[in-house]
Amino acid sequence: MTFDQLKIFLAVAEREHMTRAAEYLNLTQSAVSGAIAALEARHGLKLFHRVGRRIELTDAGKIFAVEAKKILATVNSAEATLADLCDEPRGTLSIFASQTIASYWLPQHLIAFQQTYPQIELQLEAGNTAECVRAVNAGLVDLGFIEGAIDDPGICISSLAQDRLVVVVGNEHPLAHQSSYTLKDLTGLQWILRERGSGTRSSFETGILACGLGLSDLNVVMQMPSNEGLCTAVTAGDYATAVSETVAQAGAQSGRFSVLPFELPSRAFSLIRQRERHQSRASQEFSGMLRRAFGAG
């Protein structure tokens, strides 16, 4: 078993998809499937079930994934230690961010950091908040960025910036140009929301609870795994959704959809890391740059 096979196996296991794993690793799909096939043939075990175009871990694959994550975390820590022995911080800084942060908030800070430390390779992966926390805890990434709050004693969390969710509808929606409405209007809407595990959905649930509503009071007709999908969907029919104010800004200015005057509580964009894992100099420098920029402790 090679280290490359180990990394490929974990990429496939995390995504349960050969093509997505290949894109993440910058490899061809045939190289990824070949590595998995070689690993299975060498040990005489099936690590994945193939169900049509879907794949999922077998029981043997689940057991192996636990050990593989430990190995990868150890290797990453060793590489970080070597990089820290250099005069200047270098090596790789791997980051997992929730979709809203990865697409709309973080890129400008990554560019500023890369210009200051061009010798550090930056790797960014996007997913929902739950996936981000799992990746940080497993040692698959150095740092994570999430929306809202989490309760995990193994995670250090630092709030950096504030964000606000807004409720949006298509510009042709009956409520699009009303100056006021009631909670009954909200419960009568057809809602399209982010998937369970996303920070946007969790923050929205917390926000409507403050108004005396639960998610069960709303007519949720569809879930989508991306903010872009939500924004496109509300312009195609009489639907409502909740997204970050940053996400909604461009669409509202162009007239694609309207922001309803419904106040939701603000939430934090936060930096997270595993409490007991070694923090590389690259990680320390990037964390420090953001804390200074936002006056965070």
Residues of the chain with pLDDT under 50: none
Question: How far apart (Å, rounded) are the C-alpha atoms in residues 17 and 66?
Answer: 18
Structure confidence at residue 118 (pLDDT) = 93
- Give this prediction's pTM: 0.71
Architecture of domain 162-265 in CATH? 3-Layer(aba) Sandwich (3.40)
Task: List all residues 6 or more positions away from 113 whose beta carbon is below 8 Å from its beta carbon.
Answer: 120, 122, 285, 286, 289
Structure confidence at residue 233 (pLDDT) = 92
Which of the listed CATH numbers 3.40.640.10, 1.10.10.10, 3.30.450.190, 3.40.50.1820 matches domain 1-85?
A: 1.10.10.10
Where would I find the H helices in the chain? 3-15, 18-25, 29-43, 59-84, 99-100, 107-116, 129-137, 183-187, 199-209, 227-234, 245-254, 281-294
Structure confidence at residue 182 (pLDDT) = 76
Q: Where are the domains of the chain?
A: 1-85, 162-265
46 token code pair: 């099936």
pLDDT digits (tens, 9 = 90+) for 248-278: 988 888 888 899 988 888 899 999 999 988 8
